Structure 1
């Protein structure tokens, strides 16, 4: 087993793929794959990746809300009737 190793060469990982995957899943830490000593990829538990992706999307949403609030603070709001008229819905 890989114990606490988090960096492993691509060639070594190729021959120990099941161990690499198990390490990432059991310990919930990425296993970085290296080539010539440089990190080139990572193996990460799928559920961990989903949580990270969801957190990134949540942060993007929060940032969009902050931008929208700043725009409202600077320019005010538009009355709904005006929006409908602009869209040809009134």
Structure 2
């Protein structure tokens, strides 16, 4: 993990970007991390992973609600039939 003070980062932006392709570079203020520079592809992957995790949590919450209410889930085949998507 690389860390650099914001005041020093101003003069080294190009090298910070190069370093960030390998690992995140944390920008600090008063020795505390306040921001990070990361590779754009890594950021995109993190955002996709976060969205996937949110979807998984939503499904888990829906299952918990179904169980708490004592409801039975509707079989997928029945849903397709009701929507006219299956014979």
TM class, shorter-chain normalised? 0.7 to 0.9
Match of residue 84 from structure 2 = none
1:73 to partner: Cα distance? 2.3
**Aligned residues: CA RMSD:** 1.9
Alignment of 1:8-23 (within 5 A): 8-23=4-19
Quote the Cα distance in structure 1 between the aligned partners of 2:62 and 2:73.
Answer: 13
Match of 2:55, SS?
Answer: helix
Alignment of 1:1-90 (within 5 A): 6-25=2-21, 27=22, 29-75=23-69, 76-77=71-72
Quote the Cα distance in structure 2 between the aligned partners of 1:60 and 1:78.
Answer: 21
Quote the Cα distance in structure 1 between the aligned partners of 2:33 and 2:49.
Answer: 24
Would you say how many aligned residue pairs link Structure 1 and Structure 2? 74
Consecutive unaligned residues in structure 2, runs of 5 or more:
80-87
Consecutive unaligned residues in structure 1, runs of 5 or more:
81-90
TM-score by length of 2: 0.75
The question of whether the paired residues in 1 share the 8 Å contact of 2:20 and 2:37 is answered with yes
